[in-house]
Each structure stands twice: as structure tokens, then as C-alpha cells.
Structure 1
């Protein structure tokens, strides 16, 4: 990982950012509610951790529209969907990143909501409780202001982070690793081994679909035998943990068996530079203990005494068939990882100058179906632009037809020129009602 300035004697082990978003909820009974963080804060106050010299608390920021626009295009606009709470949640992640990048703290944990890892590049509404991708906004901010190239995102939420995968899928310098409950058994029904990166980034997406019933043993095995060796091969300058906690045995939305101590050991092994809270909906039985364990581990403190009241070692023991399944999955991915460069070469044979894909995406919280036509310019020696024609037929704002041209953050002037030429050509076709160009390293999102 990248060495950062320590700031003299100011290098505290862990920075914390809290933002419970009292004014934001999907409904009064929805599991994504402020209590997800309030019980945790009560637990930390009871344990005296907020006064511990190894921990420093930071206030969140309000993410600028420019920060959000480096990642997302809205239909009809971002302002139509993004609330102040979303901006502060993303700003909380940015505040955590700033504390680390400035050298004030060694690591940081943003305990914020609303979450973000189901939010994709195009925003037609809410997907899986998510509107904007707070980790992706934070990551783009880090790249823009600190020039870091290779970043790894390790997503430990029980649900596959299909939004994060969408944002990072075509970037060879962002390694996205997600281990989650198998998509055949849980929302959003994605995250399989065959989803391993776009044509310019084969192998940069690592999906590890785990069987229901996976416990601490299986989680740690995946981490030690697969995730950590892959990270060592990739050599990231920065590691970000998309820290979902709904793998817990008491979570009402999933079927896994991870304990609070299992999560603490995960954090201790991973040694992420920045963690950002995602899911986790066992508000009283899990979250106060899981968050406490993670905080202790990230701060370098003893977490051996963290045990939730409902824990039963016999009841939540991982079954032998689950262990065997995980062993086989690790071997499959070890082979696939070793073959990734040959897979990249084979994939591009005979493809020509362009890659095309069409798909449909459902926004479950707003009942909107998005139709997408994607196109990538393939160059021999440089990354090419990525265009999306995105349309929807229902929702509170009626029919939407938006064309977005995404210029990669690594782009040179040839790619930029070609991207603008392509966007103008698409505008002449007249399929969309809005045409947008996004250039994250020049802080440009403009309608053309």
C-alpha cells in the first residue's frame, strides 16, 4: 500500500465518521433506518471507545455536486433523486478518506447512511436502498485530488454489489472483489464467477458467490487463501472495504452465519485503509457488536471479548458440505486468476474496434426498468471511452432517454477527442432527449 505523510505525532490509528441521517428513510418500518447507527453509537459510548486515544472522530462533509457527477448521470437529473442525506453520506466517506490521505489517521471507518453499493453509473431511482454509490464517489475524489492509480475495493456485504461492479467493471486499475451470498439465493441475483470484468479489464472483477450457511471458518478461509493473495498480486496503493454487515447470523435479509468476532478478524486480516458502512439490518442483535469489533480491529485494539448475546457456537457451526463447497470455489478462482491475462488476450481476438452490450436493470424501490445500450471504443494501446444510451418508460418523471459518454480517468487527449466526436455523432441520431459527457479528471459533466 502507499506510504503517506504521518503528520508528525498526529497519526492516530483510527478515524471515525458518523452520519445516521435522521431525516432520510424509505419508510417508517423499512430496515434501512437511523437506528442502524444509533445503537452502535450507544455501544461505543458505553465502552468508552470514543474517548480512547487510538480513535479520533470526524464530522462528515457535504459532497459537492461535482464530486457526485464524476461518477453518476441522472435521469432526468441527479437533483431529481439525490437528497441532502445522500450528499452527506458520500461526504462522510470523503471525510474519512481525507483523514487518511492527510496522514492524520492510519485508517478510517465511515459509519454513514444511506448506503450505496447497488447504485450504478446511471441513476433512474433507488436500487437496493441505494441512490448514489458513496464508495465510488469517494474513490473518484481520491483519484482526482491525490493521483492514486491502483485501488482495490473489497466488498463484504452479503448482497452482491452490482452497482459498484457496474461503476468499476471497465477499469483495469480498480480491483473489485466481492464475496457475498450466492446470487441464485439472494437479491440482486448477480455476482457470479463469469462476471470478471469488461473487455479492457478482464480479471479486475472478482466475484466469490458463497453458499448459504457460510460461517466464520469459511469467510476467513476465503480471505486468507484467495482474497489476500489476489491483493498481493495486484499491489494496490489503497484498499477500501465496502463494509456490509448483513452476513451476520441474525440478519433478517440473508442466510449466513458470520459472528461479530468473525467480522473483527476479517477487518484485522484485511487491514483496509478506509472502510465505508454498507448493509446490515439486525439493528440490535448484531450491529452494535459487529461495528465495535471492526472498530477495535481497525484501531489495533483487542477484540477477543466481543461476543453478541445471541451467539451459540453449536448452532452456528459451519456444516461440512458448506466447507467442501467453499474449498472447491477457492480452487476455481485460483485457476481463473492465474489465467486472467490469457483470458484478456483471447477475449479481444476478432472483436474489432468496438464492444457492445444490451441489458435491462430494475429499480426495485421505485418500480422502474432501465434499458441500456453500452458501447466501448477498443484501442490497441490505450483505454477507450464508454457510452451508455439509457431509457426508461415509467416512474414519477415519465419516459426518460439519456445518452451519457464516460471518458475514463486514465484517458489521453486522443481518447477525449474521439469521445466528444462520438457523442456529437450520437446526438445527430436523435435517440435521446439529453446528451451528457463526463470527464472525471477534468471535473467536467456537461450537456452537449
Structure 2
């Protein structure tokens, strides 16, 4: 009988009752074929691999992370509560010491969901990794967290949520945003003025193969993780870098994913994208499970895989090496980069236009951060959408200093319903979410 070197917990949630459309790439078959493969390979019969049933997250869990407009019920279905709950279940199993590592194979995904949510974008309504992380921080006292997003699409929602948090290292390895949705994730995106350097983007050229992905892990990601010294490593384990994926342009293999997982040694992995339902997902997920458990994956290969066909060119290799060198240079000079950014008069402000491609919503944001040397800073977000909804969201970080707490409540108390339809306070220091009531009609 096989024995897992590392006790590993799995959660499956295919979300039978949720799909954008019956033929959309993000549908229940994404996980059904994987479940079949796991059963056929007998992975759940291996000593040390355990399956857990997903619990649900609560409204409170969601509101630690998001300003849902008008409320969580309007942007989440039962499947979203369970999908995020599956990640939370695996996180709790790891933190309670029941397993060493955990993998949440759940859908709907979440890494395109920003702090403010008006609807669905990039197939994501709420950010399931962030909801899990903030729960673990509150319940277990975790402080420093590293998120390594290996989805082919830039994890712009996770980046947004942790843009101002110096205790969360966000690394996204993705296809160059000039060639793929959501069109972001460039080297210049390094975090807000209180957290410069803890946002790291590694955009890779189309047709990057195993060689290129594993180079960035070995030469860039692992050295930065060693410097940052996280207490918890979370892998946003998107699988749409696979050579057979229908909506991307990369050449990663299942064995390459397994090797990435072995090198990264993430405590928790959460499934994100991946839309080659039969040709990739069963093999990639099997490889990730084997690697997390410390089991041999040398036999793992897709039936149609030809290494020569999917080998990257010398030009791709040179681009990856040049990009990696720039990323490391910025990381090593992050204090200098922070000083230069803070010297700008407008460093405390950020304006953005956001398109919800799934729900066809246009949002405009005006963001103000209190520049602070003592904490992540009080944050004010004014958001309007073309649905004629205006919202003010005020965020106080969990380690907010007295000055930032005073500023946050000053913003909240002074807000007027004549200007905003919804006024929210996200006090993560006190673990409170406040909604300012509208005045009674005369």
C-alpha cells in the first residue's frame, strides 16, 4: 500500500447547479473528469490522502474581504458560499494539523474578484483565496502570507485586495497581459505606497513551456519567498497554462505542473482556471495531488504530449530571463522604489475603470490611501457603476494604527447618503462590517 510522504487533504466541489451557460468553458465538467481520474488512479486509497466535505463561508467571512454592492446576497449564489467554504475547509484542516497540505478543487473560481464587487468578472464573483486567508488570520493568528498565482491569467482581483498590505506577498506568473485577459500584471505594478514590492508580477511570453515556468520558480519565486519568510504559502493553482487549453497560448504540461508544485511546497492550493476539460485537467490535478503528497509522478503524461512540439524557442527563453532579472532587481531595490513612489504628490490616490466582462457592468473607482509608516493605511474607495449605483467603502486594516483608525471613522461618519447609495465600513481590526443606514423619509 502506498503511503503519502505528506498528509494531504482534498475537497471536491463541482458546483452542479452553477454555470454561466451550458456550453461555457467554466462548467461542472471541469471537475467531474478530474474526480473520475482520481478514483481510477486510486488516489483516495493511498494512506495519508484524505477527502473532506466543504463547509460554507459566512457573510462575515465574505465581508472581511469584499464590499459587495448592494450586499453579498446580490452577487453570490449558494455555490459561491460552498466554493469559498471548500477553501476554508482545507485551510482549517492544515491549520489544525490534520494534514500538512491541502488542495481545494472547487468552482466557481475567484482570483479576478476585486475588493469591490458589483457582479461577475472573469468568471469570478468573490475571491475565495482571500476569504480563506482572512478567516485563517482571524481564527489562527496567521500574519505573513504569500500567494503564488500560477493561473495563465493575471490574478488582478487578488492583487487589488492586497495592493496595500505589506504582510501579504502576492506573486502572479501569467501570460503577458498585452496578449491575454485581463490586460494587466506588468512589471510596473508593485503595490501601493505602504506596501511597495509585495506585489510582484512575472509576465511570460506566449508559448512558454515547462522550462520557462520552472525557471521563474527556481530563479525568482523561491529566492523571494526565502527573503519574505511567510508563515503560510497559498497557490492559486490555475491550470490554463496547459498546452491544450482552448483560451490561452502557453505550453505547460501536467508533469511540469507537478514539478512546480514540488518546488513551491505550498501549504494550500486552490483551483482557479483551466478549461481543457478532458485533455488537461484530470492529468494536471492528479500531478498536483501526487506532488503535494510527496509521491512519484514520473509516470504522469498526457496521451498526446510531445516534448519537442511544445519546446519554447530561444527568443522566449531570452525574454523570460530578462523579465526575471528585472523582477529580482525591483525586489532587491524595493526600498528605493518605495521612496521614489512616495515622493509623488499623487501617490495616495488611484483611479481605475473596471469592466465586468461576464455581467457587462462598467465601474469607475477613485481610491485614497492614508500613507502610513505604522500600518497598511486607512483606505477609502468611491465606486460608481453604469447601473446608477454609487458606493463608499472604508477599510481599516487589521493592524491599523490609531491615526489610521481615526481617519477611517472620520471618512465613514462624514459620508452622506445624498452622495452615495451605499456606505460601508470594513473594520478588520475589530472584525466589524458596518452599513450606514439611510435616513428615514420625512
Please state which band the TM-score falls in when normalised by the shorter chain: over 0.9
What is the match of residue 174 of structure 1?
A: 168
What is the match of residue 341 of structure 2?
A: 347
What is the match of residue 422 of structure 2?
A: 434
Q: Is residue 286 of structure 1 aligned with residue 280 of structure 2?
A: yes
What is the match of residue 331 of structure 2?
A: 337
What is the match of residue 412 of structure 1?
A: 401
Take 1:383 and 1:275, find their aligned partners in 2: how far apart are those partners? 26
Q: How many residues align?
A: 433
Aligned partners of 1:140 and 1:440 also within 8 Å? no
What is the match of residue 76 of structure 2?
A: 82
Deviations 1:143-193 (A, max 9, x none): 111111110000000000110000011101000000000000000000000
- Change in CA separation of 1:11 and 1:254 when aligned onto 2, cut-off 3 Å: closer
What is the match of residue 424 of structure 1?
A: 413
Aligned partners of 1:12 and 1:56 also within 8 Å? no
Q: Displacement of 1:413 after TM fit?
A: 3.8
Q: Secondary structure at the match of 2:171?
A: strand
Take 1:327 and 1:11, find their aligned partners in 2: how far apart are those partners? 34
Q: Displacement of 1:313 after TM fit?
A: 1.4
Q: Displacement of 1:346 after TM fit?
A: 2.3
Deviations 1:12-54 (A, max 9, x none): 6100011110010000000001111110010011011011112
Aligned partners of 2:109 and 2:271 also within 8 Å? yes
TM-score of the superposition, structure 1-length normalised? 0.94
Aligned partners of 1:119 and 1:131 also within 8 Å? yes
What is the match of residue 440 of structure 2?
A: none
Take 2:39 and 2:330, find their aligned partners in 1: how far apart are those partners? 46
Take 1:427 and 1:234, find their aligned partners in 2: how far apart are those partners? 41
Q: 1:23 aligns with which of 1, 9, 17?
A: 17
Q: Secondary structure at the match of 1:94?
A: helix
User: Considering only aligned residues, what root-mean-square deviation do their CA atoms show, in Å?
Assistant: 1.4
Take 2:179 and 2:421, find their aligned partners in 1: how far apart are those partners? 38
Q: 1:401 aligns with which of 381, 390, 407?
A: 390
Aligned partners of 2:54 and 2:86 also within 8 Å? yes
What is the match of residue 359 of structure 1?
A: 352
Aligned partners of 1:11 and 1:105 also within 8 Å? no
Q: Is residue 271 of structure 1 aligned with residue 259 of structure 2?
A: no
Could you tell me which runs of 5 or more consecutive residues in structure 2 were left unpaired when the two chains were aligned.
Answer: 437-442
Aligned partners of 1:11 and 1:104 also within 8 Å? no
Q: 1:372 aligns with which of 365, 375, 387?
A: 365
Q: Displacement of 1:294 after TM fit?
A: 0.4
Q: 1:323 aligns with which of 312, 317, 321?
A: 317
Deviations 1:346-390 (A, max 9, x none): 2212649x7112111000011100010101112343332101010
Take 1:379 and 1:336, find their aligned partners in 2: how far apart are those partners? 21
What is the match of residue 140 of structure 1?
A: 134
Aligned partners of 1:144 and 1:440 also within 8 Å? no
Q: What are the within-5 Å matches in structure 2 for residues 248-263 of structure 1?
A: 248-263=242-257
Take 1:221 and 1:157, find their aligned partners in 2: how far apart are those partners? 16
Q: Displacement of 1:443 after TM fit?
A: 2.4
TM-score of the superposition, structure 2-length normalised? 0.96
